[in-house]
Amino acid sequence: MCGIIGYVGLDDAKKELLKGLQALEYRGYDSAGIAYCQPNGIKTIKTVGKVSCLKDKVAKEAADDVTTCGIGHTRWATHGKPSVVNAHPHTSCDGRIAIVHNGIIENFAELREELEGRGHHFKSETDTEVFAHLIEEAYAETHDLMASVREACTHVVGAYGLAAVCADEPGVIAVARKDSPIVVGVGETGSYVASDVIALIDATRDVVVLEDGQFAKLTPSGVEYTDEAGNV
Ligand code: GLU
């Protein structure tokens, strides 16, 4: 299981994500990526290899992008070889939802078959990608990212630390956890999520360790915690 970082607030999210990923490098990983909200949708940038390569790619491809909400990941491949396509974040068919995931989804083969049967197109070989499509299906009903993440989790057997963003809710990061560490923090300029407190240490000492079955909705002004039924 490797690294997750997310930031929503007043600062440049790309900078916060790359800083967080660099702090998580000690864990070892094979690829890295970020996804962030833009006025016309979600932009994703991924590389195989070091976070420094990702940093260079972001500088080349996204220097002028302004964004205050995004998620990032360093991957240690469990399902599917290390490659740009298999690197996280993964996106829904319509590209409007992006997710990062640590852990293993045990029933991903059944879920993938069901989702493909309902018309979903998979881009990667990962177990993770089922989450993007499950959330997309739920979002079509709920139009609520946090509720859609909760709904998606009811179908998944396995371990997950998960963070999701949606182009239609550009100031929100939805977070879930089961058997994979997740911490949430509120700093001076915004809210953070990470898989390891070390990624947040420069930003805040106001940190909450999420428990299994708890969910967190991050916005620039703070965090709302809910249980599996959506109770605050
Ligand atoms: N199982 C996922 C994958 O292979 C996540 C791996 C991780 O935790 O880094 O893509």
Angle, alpha carbons 78-80-81 (nearest 5°):
95
Ligand 1 site-directed mutation target among 81, 100, 104, 131, most atoms within 8 Å of CB:
104
Q: Which residues line ligand 1 (CB under 6 A)?
A: 1-2, 75-80, 101-104, 126-128
Global pTM reads 0.98
Q: What is the pLDDT along the chain (232 residues), one digit of tens a residue?
A: 689 999 999 999 999 999 999 999 998 999 999 999 999 999 999 999 999 999 999 999 999 999 999 999 999 999 999 999 999 999 999 999 999 999 999 999 999 999 999 999 999 999 999 999 999 999 999 999 999 999 999 999 999 999 999 999 999 999 999 999 999 999 999 999 999 999 999 999 999 999 999 999 999 999 999 999 999 9
Q: Check whether the bond before 89 is cis (ω within 30° of 0).
A: yes
Question: Which residue from 217, 212, 183 is spatially nearest to 198, judged by alpha carbons?
Answer: 183
How many CB atoms are closer than 10 A to CB 155?
17
Rounded distance from Cα 76 to ligand 1 centre (Å)? 6
Torsion 230-91-34-190 (CA) sign: negative
Q: Which atom of ligand 1 is nearest to the CA of 29?
A: 9
